[in-house]
Structure 1
Amino acid sequence: MNTELLGVIAQIVLLLVLSYPLGKHIAKVYKDGSDWMRFMAPVEKFMYKICGINPEEEMNWKVFLKSLLVINIFWFFWGMILLVLQGYLPLNPDGNAGQTPDQAFNTCISFMVNCNLQHYSGESGLTYFTQLFVIMLFQFITAATGMAAMAGVMKAMAAKTTQTIGNFWKYLVISCTRILFPMSLIVGLILILQGVPMGFDGKMKVATLEGAEQLVSQGPTAAIVPIKQLGTNGGGYFGVNSSHPLENPTYLTNMLECWSILIIPMAMIFALGFYLKRKKLAYSIFGVMLFAYLAGVCLNVYQEMNGNPKISEMTIDQRCGSMEGKETRIGAAATALWSVTTTVTSNGSVNGMHDSLTPLSGMVAMLNMQINTWFGGVGVGFLNYYTFLIIAVFISGLMVGRTPEFLGKKIEAREMKIATIVALAHPFVILFFTALSSYIYAHHPGIVEAEGGWLNNPGYHGFSEMLYEYTSSSANNGSGFEGLGDNTWFWNFTCGLALIISRYLPIIGQVAIAGLLAQKKFIPESAGTLKTDTGTFAVMTFCVIVIVAALSFFPALSLGPIAEYFSL
């Protein structure tokens, strides 16, 4: 078997084997604190004390959401101030200037909502200070925010009838101390051993093969890369992200970083089963997500290893693969695997340029984010699936003539309205802003020229670049078709709006649904209760997701990657 394929298979097997015990650990962290990281309790108590937090104080869903939103508003202003003033702050040996207000707005919103869309190059757009005290800090906090939201939803789902869903602050802290931090430490140590830099020196001078001198950026890379991956953040320390040889120097680091993207989202589904004591439900959800993930991996690996047929016709090796925009030390198959792994989650990091993917591979990457339900970000991945689960339960209940119920709670009009708004808001935001940018590009060339031209590629691929940018923003992903010149006022502002709407509307809706259901009277299961942990219902949920989410984007995909594919 091709060694590239062996690397892909080995990584997927490692994910499946290790996500189960990690899920068990996560469930213990949130349920009773009996996990193996409980020795962190004194550190957590100290943090609660200096912040004036009572971790045992229960919150209803409204107070829970208020706490979530308040802390995010605080960090927004923190980030804006530091990014604009970074040129005057310490740990800036390369003398990088502060960001413009519109760029700082986009950067701050992007990292605050766990998207990490980058309209700047990491080496020159940030200083060591802001890399640590804005970027890395936000990568921990925003990942923990999503995990805390899921912890609250799990508590609500597990209770028969309750008015509270836990304490947001406690969930936020233990997500960092007992899950994200220890895993980041282990991954970071391995990266250092593999040659990823970790220091605070300025650019180093190196002699090239031609005998010239070149300045190479370095810095505390190994501290930031682990949480960028494990927290499904994705913001690269360097401008080209994990395709940079100092951020991802070897095939082993490539496997480790790609594995890190998906391990916690996968484990979260098993954690749900352990927490609720409903393993069959977790298995059915995991099965749907895994099927979609593997289908995307198979298609992308095939497409990238075979490459463009027009180029293959001109070569001796008819299976030369598509190596444009990829690193030879990584290969086409590993890049294809990464392109699917990073887009079934809200990670967005890259080890090759997505703009160079073959049309169908680019479409899979976009479709993963447009569906935005397969594993997803840490915590919020299941919450997106939860929305469609509620819709599937409601539709199934109507089909069999029963009041829809999920885990002993009736699904009524109020929950369905919220779920429908959340499900339809995602395609609306993407398609609205894509239509707006396409209209401006076609009818107002003066605006486009004043901002540098926007597109490096005309026609179908140019449309795909704009569609991908808003898809990535709305899915809290952050990757991009980098043929788009996105560091402009228009793209910084419109992408920022898409980021805000697409992060907070779903979380508010999903936590609200869980809180409303938790308050309802528990109805014991009977012979006539609709089973939601069966293969049949898993297929039903998959069909609802495809019909509601995927088909909404078919016309737009037809104008972009599908049309490009048929033009080859």
Structure 2
Amino acid sequence: MILNILQLLIIILIIGFAFVIPIGKYLIKIFTDETDTVLERYTYRFLGINPEEQMTWQRYSQAIVISNLVLVLLFYATLRLQDILPFNPDKISPAPTAELAFNTAISFVTNTDWQNYGGETTLSYFNQMVMITCLMFTSSATGLAAGVAVIRGLSQNGVNNLGNFWVDLTRAIYRLFLPICFVLSLVYVWQGVPQTLAPAAIATTLEGATQTIARGPVASLESIKQIGTNGGGFFNVNSAHPFENPTALTNSLEIMSMLLIVPALTYTFGTMVRARRQGWIFFGVFTALFMGFLAIILPAEQIGNPLLTEVGADQTLSALQSGGNFEGKEVRFGIAQTSLFVTATTAATTGSVNAMHDSLTPMGGFAALSEMLLNVVFGGKGVGLITLIMYAAVTVFLVGLMVGRTPEFLSKKIEAKEVKLVSLALLAHPFTILIGVGLALVWPKALDSLNNPDAHGFTEILYAFTSVTANNGSAFGGLNGNTPFYNTVLGIGILLGRFLAPVLPMLAVAGYLAVKPRVPKTTGTMSTNTVFFGVLLLASILIVGGLTFFPALALGPISEHFELASGKSF
């Protein structure tokens, strides 16, 4: 067990977090550079973009919504026309249904990457490359651009300017995602991940049977899948597939990729708003939440299933076996790296999986689900930081009420307009999740999609709506989401989760704060760049999240945990 902990802390976490400062500095250079590259200038000219335009929050939000809408319509069309499009050597047919195409188009455009289909049996190479992989770049860059726009707004003093969305989007793709993904793709190919346009391989087994082995342009998709915290897999079993994640090295690289950009944004934030200590406080809160949930998942999975212990199964960790709950896990990764992968993918809203989450112990599932419910344990690039800023505004507001002062954050007064917008973003997240779960429980035949009854079945429904609303996209399993009801309702949940919680409201908050003058600090000003404030912020996140979601968690994984402890099967 000690070796497992050292493996997590030393080999992956410390190495991954060592990039916080260099990546943070590089992000600052990307988004504050006053010159454009030749490729960027040609791109602006081709798209008819004026790179000199400085956008208000309304204009910035409009650009995000319109670009996303156009991409949804374009991707929907390519999915429906798949049968007549090129690069389909395996003759995959028929094209996705209207409901599935609607759900998939919205999912990948918004960086959710929820999949109600098996990639190798549903999509052609054309859609896997030209649409899925390309959308992973644009959706990742859109989230990062929104985060940088909010940072700009908070750094302004009396200027209504959040930057230029098209410039931010283009620079994020050309200067950040493409170079990193190119290198990662080569490493993945070296490790055995396919990158080919050849059709599926036909092999003859030792018994003489014929086996079809799906392959394709996997490495290029795999790299942006993790770096961009997208999560959509080329194959149905995602990063548990040996062609997507063949070795312990690729598994470690995938975990580090998920945690490469998001932590670095705290350094970018602190530097751009000229409050670097504030950025480190945010980094500390992110890390405390992450380590807390990892400390729940790892022991829960390592201890294993008490019902198996009662019948004589040896689940102890030893030199001869990994022990613990190994159902649904890959032997080549083990309990430790699987637990870290589960924690990272639900924390960074990536959604890729290297194990079946449906087979996690109840407390393992509780931790993964809770990370998405809070949606602020690092979170996706840009959006995770936006959510933490939202909670910081709530914290200073609550403290201001206690002491009878107008709350301030970064020397800007947080007034009624900002509090209302933050409240909208806070309420939209649980509203979408809980209303969706309620509909699934009463909608005719919706429960027919469940493979498990009782508390575990409820957890499967809760996990699905939480995953799409939090723009995570990971599947708990045990729930058939490819039905007209789930494709439609989950698609609506994706839209609400992307734009109402928290991107558009927080862009508005940033715009309103940008035009406000800075107020001088007084003896009554609460400092937000101290460890004390970090503790208050952490407490606010847990209290608000607990009050909002504890009843739902009690009906699902918590109830299941006590059923298991009492000797019942799950």
TM-score by length of 2: 0.95
Structure 1 segment 100-139 matched on structure 2, within 5 A: 100-139=97-136
- Tell me whether 1:425 sits opposite 2:438 in the alignment: no
Q: How far 1:209 sits from its partner (Å)?
A: 4.4
**3-state DSSP of counterpart to 1:206:** strand
- Tell me whether 1:461 sits opposite 2:445 in the alignment: no
Aligned partner of 1:8 in structure 2 is 8
User: Distance between the aligned counterparts of 2:472 and 2:315, measured in 1?
Assistant: 36
User: Distance between the aligned counterparts of 1:448 and 1:55, measured in 2?
Assistant: 48
Contact 1:367 1:550 in 2 (8 A): no
Deviations 1:446-490 (A, max 9, x none): x348xxx20111111011000000000110000111100110001
Gaps of at least 5 residues in structure 2 are 318-322, 565-570
Contact 2:440 2:446 in 1 (8 A): no
User: Distance between the aligned counterparts of 2:547 and 2:203, measured in 1?
Assistant: 52
Q: How far 1:274 sits from its partner (Å)?
A: 2.0
- Tell me whether 1:558 sits opposite 2:559 in the alignment: no
Contact 2:446 2:485 in 1 (8 A): no
Q: CA 1:528 to 1:195, structure 2 compared with 1: closer, same or farther past 3 Å?
A: same
**3-state DSSP of counterpart to 1:54:** coil
Which residue identity lines up with residue 55 of structure 1 in the other structure?
P
Q: Spell out structure 1 runs of 4+ moving beyond 6 A.
A: none
**3-state DSSP of counterpart to 2:212:** strand
When the two chains are superposed, the root-mean-square deviation of aligned CA atoms in Å is 1.4
Q: CA 1:317 to 1:390, structure 2 compared with 1: closer, same or farther past 3 Å?
A: closer
User: Distance between the aligned counterparts of 1:326 and 1:209, measured in 2?
Assistant: 26
Contact 1:423 1:549 in 2 (8 A): no
User: Distance between the aligned counterparts of 1:542 and 1:298, measured in 2?
Assistant: 16
**3-state DSSP of counterpart to 1:149:** helix
Aligned partner of 1:405 in structure 2 is 408
Aligned partner of 2:63 in structure 1 is 67
User: Distance between the aligned counterparts of 2:404 and 2:314, measured in 1?
Assistant: 63
Structure 1 segment 2-151 matched on structure 2, within 5 A: 3-9=3-9, 10-32=11-33, 41-97=37-93, 98-151=95-148
Aligned partner of 2:376 in structure 1 is 373
Aligned partner of 1:195 in structure 2 is 192
Q: How far 1:306 sits from its partner (Å)?
A: 1.6
Aligned partner of 2:296 in structure 1 is 299
Contact 1:90 1:129 in 2 (8 A): yes
User: Distance between the aligned counterparts of 2:472 and 2:167, measured in 1?
Assistant: 26
Q: How far 1:342 sits from its partner (Å)?
A: 0.5
**3-state DSSP of counterpart to 1:513:** helix
Which residue identity lines up with residue 562 of structure 1 in the other structure?
I
- Tell me whether 1:383 sits opposite 2:377 in the alignment: no
Aligned partner of 1:265 in structure 2 is 262
Contact 2:315 2:324 in 1 (8 A): no
**3-state DSSP of counterpart to 2:160:** coil
- Tell me whether 1:530 sits opposite 2:531 in the alignment: no
Contact 1:106 1:496 in 2 (8 A): yes
Q: Percent identity?
A: 41
**3-state DSSP of counterpart to 2:260:** helix
Aligned partner of 2:349 in structure 1 is 346
User: Distance between the aligned counterparts of 2:446 and 2:346, measured in 1?
Assistant: 29
**3-state DSSP of counterpart to 1:263:** coil
TM-score by length of 1: 0.95
Q: How far 1:163 sits from its partner (Å)?
A: 1.3
Which residue identity lines up with residue 308 of structure 1 in the other structure?
N
Q: Which residue, out of 536, 540, 544, partners 1:548?
A: 544
Structure 1 segment 229-308 matched on structure 2, within 5 A: 229-308=226-305
Deviations 1:9-44 (A, max 9, x none): 2111111111221111111211235xxxx8x71111
Q: CA 1:503 to 1:316, structure 2 compared with 1: closer, same or farther past 3 Å?
A: closer
Aligned partner of 2:151 in structure 1 is 154
Q: How far 1:281 sits from its partner (Å)?
A: 0.2
Question: Number of aligned pairs?
Answer: 555
Contact 1:162 1:519 in 2 (8 A): yes
Which residue identity lines up with residue 345 of structure 1 in the other structure?
A
User: Distance between the aligned counterparts of 1:312 and 1:208, measured in 2?
Assistant: 37
Q: How far 1:5 sits from its partner (Å)?
A: 3.6
Aligned partner of 2:320 in structure 1 is none
Contact 2:315 2:325 in 1 (8 A): no
Q: How far 1:2 sits from its partner (Å)?
A: 5.4
Q: How far 1:421 sits from its partner (Å)?
A: 1.1
- Tell me whether 1:490 sits opposite 2:491 in the alignment: no
Aligned partner of 2:567 in structure 1 is none
Contact 1:312 1:318 in 2 (8 A): no
